[in-house]
Amino acid sequence: MKTIAIFFISIMLGISNCFGQIGNFEINDTLISEFNINTLMSIPADIMLLDSVVAYQFVQQEDSVSVTRYIYIYDEIDNSLLTIFQYRTPYDQVWTNYNKSLTTFNDDNLAIEVILYSGEDQSWIKRDKIIYEYNSNNEGNLSIRYFWDTNIYEWKLHSKNVVVRTSASYISISSIFDADNQQWEYGSKTQIMYGSVGEIVSDVHYWWSKENLIWENDDWVYYTYEDGVESSISYSWDSTYWKPRFKTIGIRINSQKVVYDNYTFTDDSTLFHTKTTEYIYDNMDNIIAQESYRFLLSDSIWIGDRKFEKVINEEGQLLFTNNYSWVHDESKWVNSNNIFYGYNEYGINDYKGYYTWDTTSSTWLKSLGEVSYYSNSSSINASNFSIIPIQVHPNPCINQITLNFENMDNNKAVYYIYSQSGELIDEGNLLDGEINVANFNTGIYFLRLSTSEKTYSGKFVKL
């Protein structure tokens, strides 16, 4: 695991030669170049570790401010990940805590515990805790949710979900904990049946009758397939029989086009056509376009429901998405918003640029930018990369901590210390393996230490 360290990564769009005309939307070369000439610096690294995701709002077309951010702090010793979400207004320099989660993983890198917090007056309030268990195939078979009782400051049972899997079925049963009677009560059950090649053929939902102490039918979806395209009929239980509600018919037009038609049953046998959707696929079976229409019963006409187009390169990277809106009075699609995606040299998406269409000026206006920052975590080969736990003593400490790591006399080391909220508290060159923490506030701190060869992480408590 790793501890947060934020560095700037270059925006590598490289898309100017990929775009021509997409549907009715003409790509503007100036629009593309604005994202290619970012001033973010390139930091070479063999391993790219996500440290934060920051969203920037454009107050003016050439001026942006950060308004939301996710911060990720990794702890190799406890095998945990702390995720913090904060926000602020474009005119406020103070970050406000909104929520955070602390996830603990097992040796198979599966989440076994998640604790959720809410931000309140720059402090954190416990909210929920979820415990996960897995079977021998590392498939989840139990999750238990607790809530934090602010009156007695204890975790209280809330609900649980039990999953039973076979090659032909999936059964999920949810229960609610009855605190008054100190017992579990059934809530709902889902039973999914699979076909010979793993396709879903039936999905039935039940609810628990406290009066009859049995599972009662709720709704059911039956699936069929033709030429790799799914069709379905949805039913709801009506006292004594399954009453048909909705029907979806999927038809493959060719290798790159599939059409779905949606119907509503007005009675047990009469269908009313409500929606039609066309999907276009590329050679890698990615959806690159969708256009759907729905029937407006009040006016007895078909109107646009949703339309988008995407550009995906040969490596499967999504480069561009354009969304459209339907103008009812003119019965046509118009530009709504679009998103550009940038990738670093490792093929990782590290940038999203959002534009909105201004109908008055008939131009694209900058709306938001989202940048993912990665740390230059190692200069060694990726196959040999690891972050090593470091010994910190004394721990807890009062005035000073001492760090021990292999070959420390032969390595120049730089340290970074972060608070639990992700704030960088101190950084510097490590001298004689000692760091002065006398001026730190009481609390838990995360430590990251980088040498020319390896990266270390640790945690300590300041009294």
Residue 130: pLDDT over 90: yes
% of the chain at pLDDT higher than 70 = 81
Give the count of domains, the chain.
2
Q: How far apart are CA 55 and CA 34, in angstroms?
A: 17
Most confident of 76-85, 120-129, 158-167, 425-434: 158-167
Domain shared by 163 and 255, yes or no: yes
Distance CA 365, CA 349 (A): 22
If asked whether residues 201 and 327 sit together in one domain, one would say yes
- Within a domain: 13: no
Say yes or no to pLDDT of 7 above 80.
Answer: no
Share of the chain above pLDDT 90, in %: 53
pLDDT tens for 350-361 read 889 999 999 999
Same-domain pairing of 188 and 327: yes
Handedness of CA 232, 237, 242, 243 (dihedral sign): negative
- CA–CA separation, 16 vs 18, rounded Å? 6
In the chain, the amino acid numbered 107 is D
Of residues 27 and 440, more confidence is placed in 440
pLDDT of 446 > 90? The answer is no
129 belongs to a structural domain:
yes
pTM: 0.70
User: How buried is residue 62: exposed, middle or buried, by Cβ count under 10 Å (0-12/13-18/19+)?
Assistant: exposed
State residue 165's pLDDT score. 94
Residue of 229, 217, 210 lying closest to 191 (CA atoms) = 217
Residue 264: what residue type? T
Of 341, 376, 411, which residue sits at a domain end?
376
What is the structure's pLDDT at 339? Answer: 94
Listed residue (272, 284, 283, 277) closest to 247, CA to CA: 272
CA distances from 196 to 169, 225, 436, 438 (A): 11, 12, 65, 66
Q: Is the peptide bond preceding residue 396 cis, with omega within 30 degrees of 0?
A: yes
Residue 261: predicted pLDDT = 98
Mean pLDDT over 198-217 rounds to: 97
Query: What pLDDT, on the 0 to 100 scale, is given for residue 419?
Result: 72
Task: Return the pLDDT at 453.
Answer: 64
What pLDDT, on the 0 to 100 scale, is given for residue 26?
Answer: 34
Question: Could you tell me if residue 6 is inside a domain?
Answer: no
Q: Which residues contact 223 (CB under 8 A, 6 or more apart)?
A: 199, 200, 201, 202, 203, 230, 231, 232
Q: For residue 36, what is the enclosing H or E element?
A: helix 29-36
431 vs 217: which has the higher pLDDT: 217
- Pair 368, 420 in one domain: no
pLDDT of residue 248: 98
The confidence score (pLDDT) of residue 407 equals 60
The CATH code of the domain that includes 241 is 2.40.128.720
Tens of pLDDT along 337-388?
Answer: 999 998 877 778 888 999 999 999 989 898 999 988 876 433 222 333 345 6
Residue 324 confidence (pLDDT): 97
Rounded CA-CA distance 262/252 in Å is 15
Could you tell me if 338 and 237 lie in one domain?
yes
Q: pLDDT at position 254, please?
A: 96
CA dist list (Å): 377 to 186, 350, 405? 48, 16, 17
Instruction: Give the chain's length.
Output: 463
What's 400's domain CATH number? Answer: 2.60.40.1930
Q: Pick the last residue of a domain from 334, 350, 376.
A: 376
